[in-house]
Amino acid sequence: MLIRIPPPHPIRSSEITPERVHDDRRRLVAQLGLSAVALVTGCGRSDDAQAERPQASTEIAATDSASTVAPAAGSEGRAALNVAKRSELAGGETLTPFMDVSTYNNYYEFGTSKDQPARNAHTLKTRPWMVTVDGECESPGQLGIEDLVNASTLEERVYRFRCVEAWSMVVPWVGIALSDVLARFKPTSKAKYVAFETFYDRQQMPLGRWAGFELPYVEGLRIDEAMHPLTLLTVGMYGRVLPNQNGAPLRLVVPWKYGYKSIKSIVRVRFVEKEPPTTWNILQPEEYGFYSNVNPAVSHPRWSQSGERRLGELFKRKTLLYNGYTEVASLYTGMDPVKFH
């Protein structure tokens, strides 16, 4: 008698991946050697799977101490962070278990399947760590990770997180508003965009050769997106410092955009006048636009974005415009929503 043991994540591969294609966009690029092909992920979703969750106000405000998120089981090996303010910005939705968030990752420098980064990212050395900030600013310089981790202004924000592959999670991130950090360097009027670059070292990241695209990974935001109060420069999650596979020691979290905009392991920030290149837009511009805002009405060219499957849940749910953070809508007044894919 054959006994089937269900996987830890109730997302069946047949539900997130088209026939004969692996479960990760970039693996296809690496396997086929095509610089212009991103991996197809089956993200078609029916509208009747699960009722849309009500949208709660996302005003950034401190909650009382009763809402403190205790360090999650399995996270004890990482240092605890002192959090000055906590905000619930996910409509009261249940947190995704730490084990799911820390073992289901896209970080292709450490492997092209979801489970590889958790196994391989221990080779990343996160101390010492300096971030260079330069470009169109009056006070270029460097920022040490300890300046942020030990800051008295650390916030814990519970955000929805939506991947372009149509899976999602709810995470209590810990960090500082990116605008507060960028302001220290006094961007000039020429700074229309902010470009980000991730760390890449062939010795610490030997699997990066199979990523299927040029490294280091680069991303960018328009200056008003970067300065929006929801954009978080993140140093931790679940009350402790970030695990390596989740982007330690310093990553971006932009909750209204698809997850690949939230660049990991940042080592350079540059203020620029023109729209900067971004890794996925370079690789497949007709499929991965610069803005990449979550919009259920705008399908990816090869699958629907109308629904998603939350890690740890069985049933599908409807995707919310801007991932539920509709206060950012004014940033895109008059723009063609097709640019948001």
pLDDT of residue 151: 86
pLDDT of residue 150: 86
pLDDT of residue 124: 98
Cα gap 263→252, rounded to integer Å:
5
Cα gap 39→300, rounded to integer Å:
12
Residues 134 and 270 sit within 8 Å (Cβ to Cβ): yes
Domains of the chain are 13-332 (3.90.420.10)
- Token pair, residue 80, equals 């605890």
Cα gap 143→145, rounded to integer Å:
7
pLDDT of residue 341: 53
Q: What are the tens digits of pLDDT across the range 111-131?
A: 999 999 999 999 999 999 999
What value, to the nearest 5°, has the Cα angle with vertex 167 and ends 19 and 202?
85
pLDDT of residue 59: 44
Cα gap 118→111, rounded to integer Å:
9
Task: Compute the residue count for the chain.
Answer: 341
Residue found by looking up tokens 């206060």 in the block: 327
Tell me the mean pLDDT per 10 residues along the chain, length 341: 42 37 41 36 33 38 48 78 97 97 98 98 97 98 93 95 97 98 98 98 98 97 98 98 98 98 98 98 93 94 95 94 97 80 53
